[in-house]
A and B are shown apart, each in its own frame.
Chain A
Amino acid sequence: MITLTALRSFSVPVQAPCITPENFAGKSITEIKALPVTEGNCNVTLGDLFKLEQTPEETPNITLNGDLGKVKRVGQAMKSGEIVINGNIGMHTGEKMAGGKIVITGNAGGWTGSEMKKGTIEIHGDGGDYLASPYRGNDLGMKGGLITVDGNVGSDVGCHLKGGIIKIKGSAGRFLGYHMNDGVIYVEKDCDVRTGACMVGGKIVVGGTLEILPSFTIDSIKPKVKVDNITSVTGPFYVFLGDLSEHGTGKLFVNKSANSALKFYEKYL
């Protein structure tokens, strides 16, 4: 295991896409120290910014400590192994991830797990905006894997989702699952407005309150819903279909008891 500890708190953004298990594998500590990163517009090395130590444990492969809120692109495109981040981390963590595991004990920045294909991201704090959403102009949403968030998440989470599961213990911001095609998003608490906007497929399960867009239509009431192979949630749930303006067939499961304001939809059943 390689432990990286930030030597100071960073005042400008640090881009460190080199911090992945693949990149560190087979390298000596001196070689790892020499890996290039940028601090603002300065080209520096990992050793300039972090204290590096090697310990014999196998997992996790990499541990990061310190004030890392401005450190971006950690674990970018990683394929295997495990990274543990003790504290907050900056944007684009685990972007284009294709396997392995990232554990973040604090909060994650925006675009965490963006365009990820496989693997697991565990966030014990809050997830940022654009969690598991693609880069601007793309529709390459998350394809597979699992993201769990213990806290809340920001806006535009799970855009263009094409597979995989996102579980959020807290509440979610606006535009959750925007234009999602497939996959599952489960929010235990409330959602901000416009949940599931433009969705064409997939499943969003909401345990708390939310507002339904006019372009969704009620389909049925179901007693419970399966989130993944091991979890199923009991409701009862209103099931909404949408987004009609996109001719979508996405399913929005809304906890009936938490949403008495939606009772009038029952007349269409």
Chain B
Amino acid sequence: MTEILIKNGFVVDPRNKINCEKMDIAIKDNKIVKKINEKQAQIIDASGLTIMAGGVDIHSHIAGAEVNLGRIIRPEDHYKDPVRKTPITRSGTGYSIPSTFVTGYRYAEMGYTTVFNGSIASMKAKHAHEELNDIPLLDKGTFILTGDWWFVLENLAKNNIDECARLVAWLIHSARGYAIKVVNPGGLESWGFGRNVHSIDDQVPNFCITPREIMRGLIKVNKKLNMPHTIHLHTNNLGVPGNYQTTLDTMKALEDLSTDGKPVAHITHIQFACFKGENWRKFKSGAEDISKYINTHNHITLDMGQVTFSDTTTMTADGPFEFSLYEMGGHLKWVNSDVETESSGGIIPFEYKRNSPVNALQWSIGLELALLIKDPWKIFMTTDHPNGGPFYDYPKVLAWLYSKKAREATLKKCHKSARKKSLLPSINRELTLYEIAIMTRAGTAQALGLPNKGHLGVGADADVAIFNINPETLDIAQKFRTARRAFAHAVYTLKDGVIVTKDGQIVNSQIPGRTIWVDAQTKDPCRIDDDMKRKFKEYWTMEYENYPVTDHYIKVSDKVTVKASV
């Protein structure tokens, strides 16, 4: 039994409406409790420090076949960032796609305790889980690529929502996934023959369905299954100039599906879907239009996908997008990795440069969106690691959000397009610690449907981050570098009630972290009959019995059981 009392810190806990109040946090075992016996407890003196819940990352590519292929093809990237073994930690390599152990360590050093993996194809789900098991100190879950699954396409084309729901429940269960991921709906299937879809009403070749129908269908499926998270959507035409229109069309197409005022879809890395202008030369920011729409509607949540100017690696299941990126020239390597009947994928090492007009504007689009959208519960901070930049750049992104001075400092070094073609220079908003806590923990936990994460109320998981920021004496907007350092190296990170980092150093690496996955129990479970098995044999090159992830692939399992309405 461990009991810890964190005393005298300034608590920032937006879920419980606590804003920089001086109070104590009591921890017993792995939960936050009301009171403990102070005499027996280990005391952490947090006077002058800010206490937040452990960070919750809603979208980060940390594991899976594609991430690992990205690791394999970038020896030169690892070469510049070796990580030495210590008696406590394992060795590894860092930079844009760090090795698994290093991923866990570096997230923990920043006070993050929960990370959700961007996307995996369920056929390769065992691989993702094996990697997740090797990422210590974090709770994690993974989204399953569902949008171009043949069973989904076929059933949605026939409008068999209930049957589709049962199949998706089976899929999520057999891949031990957390949510439905939709990437460039229809586009991935088209990419099987080297084609793509270019609007939400384009026909998907051979399947008599449009992206609009896929997205709407899967939202209905998601509702029927009562999934904790909404569908996790990567829009069509991602990374194409003028795509803000597609994004607006997408959001409008989903408007009527929200009946209770709750979000129905999470559009991820919105920055890449917010480009205005007919071509790259006329490239402009579409952030104003998107934020206007979001400010008046409640059915969508977003994350930023902020660009951070680094030598990174782009990777996505959106194969056609990566190919068009490659065709723009100047790239040494291009990887395509299609997965039969499920998905495609692509990887390109990419360096975002300050002096590139496009990259500089991309940088400002991400920040514009985060600042123009008034409600921080609607847009969350990510870099779409590693697509916009590696996750260790989060403190930089935060600094740009809470300090106009920090933005100005970077703007000065950027190509003039960032200044001229966006509203960023005119935005004066500077986020408070409270808002930052929403964008990095409370909001993401709420969007993901994690009741015990992202806050410090009684009953919450004892995942705590303590930063060296004294809200009474430190003006973070002015001294943004000091605060940035504080966010980069938490004074303490507690995972499951155990101190895992102290002063930005790992002190305990033996907490494996849990794998959170959803078991959507349908009333009438998916019948895997002979017909279905036959279909399976036709569709995959793997037997049905060998397809699901078995229990041993989950080191520490945290199953979320939901009752579906089909």
Residues on A close to B: CB < 8 A? Answer: 134-140
Contacts and interface: CB of A to CB of B under 8 A. Distances in A.
Interface string B44-78: 00000000000000000000000000000111110
B75 A139 contact: no
Contacts of A140: 76
Nearest to B349: A137
15 contacts: A134-B76, A135-B75, A135-B76, A135-B79, A136-B75, A136-B76, A137-B73, A137-B74, A137-B75, A137-B76, A137-B77, A137-B333, A138-B76, A139-B332, A140-B76
Contacts of B73: 137
B71 to A, nearest CB: 11
Contacts of B77: 137
Given A134-B76, A140-B76, 13 more contacts: A135-B75, A135-B76, A135-B79, A136-B75, A136-B76, A137-B73, A137-B74, A137-B75, A137-B76, A137-B77, A137-B333, A138-B76, A139-B332
Looking at chain A's contact residues, the main secondary structure is loop
A40 B79 CA distance: 19
A139 B77 CA distance: 12
Contacts of B79: 135
A234 B2 CA distance: 83
Interface string B68-109: 000001111101000000000000000000000000000000
Interface in B14-71: none
Which of A135, A136, A137 has most B Cβ within 10 Å?
A137
Contacts of B76: 134-138, 140
A15 to B, nearest CB: 13
Which of B73, B76, B79, B332 has most A Cβ within 10 Å?
B76
Nearest to A136: B75
A135 B82 CA distance: 15
10 closest A-B pairs by beta carbon, nearest first, are: A138-B76, A137-B76, A137-B75, A136-B75, A139-B332, A135-B76, A135-B79, A137-B74, A136-B76, A137-B73
Contacts of A136: 75-76
Contacts of A139: 332
Contacts of A137: 73-77, 333
A135 B74 CA distance: 11
Contacts of B333: 137
A135 B333 CA distance: 15
Interface string B485-526: 000000000000000000000000000000000000000000
Interface in B431-447: none
Query: How many interface residues does chain B have, given as a range?
Result: under 10
Contacts of B74: 137
Nearest to B72: A137
A134 B79 CA distance: 12
Nearest to A134: B76
A183 to B, nearest CB: 18
B91 to A, nearest CB: 12
Contacts of A138: 76
A138 B311 CA distance: 13
Nearest to B80: A135
B533 to A, nearest CB: 43
A134 B332 CA distance: 14
A140 B77 CA distance: 12
Nearest to A115: B76
Nearest to A138: B76
Nearest to B79: A135
Interface in B305-351: 332-333
B535 to A, nearest CB: 41
A136 B80 CA distance: 12
A253 B8 CA distance: 77
A138 B74 CA distance: 8
A140 B79 CA distance: 13
A164 B74 CA distance: 26
A115 to B, nearest CB: 10
Contacts of B332: 139
A156 to B, nearest CB: 16
Contacts of B75: 135-137
B150 to A, nearest CB: 35
A136 B76 CA distance: 6
A33 B75 CA distance: 33
A36 to B, nearest CB: 13
Nearest to A160: B332
A140 B333 CA distance: 14
B268 to A, nearest CB: 29
A138 B76 CA distance: 6
A213 B105 CA distance: 50
A243 to B, nearest CB: 16
A136 to B, nearest CB: 5
A93 B233 CA distance: 50
A138 B351 CA distance: 13
A197 to B, nearest CB: 16
B383 to A, nearest CB: 23
B423 to A, nearest CB: 37
A90 B553 CA distance: 44
Nearest to B78: A137
B299 to A, nearest CB: 44
A91 B88 CA distance: 32
A72 to B, nearest CB: 15
B200 to A, nearest CB: 37
A136 B74 CA distance: 9
A142 to B, nearest CB: 15
Interface in B176-213: none
Contacts of A135: 75-76, 79
A140 B74 CA distance: 13
A136 B73 CA distance: 10
A136 B75 CA distance: 6
B539 to A, nearest CB: 35
A134 B74 CA distance: 13
A135 B77 CA distance: 10
A40 B363 CA distance: 46
B530 to A, nearest CB: 48
A221 B73 CA distance: 42
A83 B75 CA distance: 29
Nearest to B73: A137
A95 to B, nearest CB: 11
Nearest to B77: A137
A17 B333 CA distance: 30
A140 B311 CA distance: 14
A12 to B, nearest CB: 19
A137 B76 CA distance: 6
Nearest to A179: B332
A248 B79 CA distance: 30
B60 to A, nearest CB: 23
Which of A134, A138, A139 has most B Cβ within 10 Å?
A138
Nearest to A140: B76
A135 B350 CA distance: 18
Contacts of A134: 76
A138 B79 CA distance: 10
A137 B79 CA distance: 10
A181 to B, nearest CB: 12
A7 B75 CA distance: 35
A139 B79 CA distance: 14
B349 to A, nearest CB: 9
A139 B73 CA distance: 13
A99 B383 CA distance: 38
Nearest to A139: B332
B212 to A, nearest CB: 41
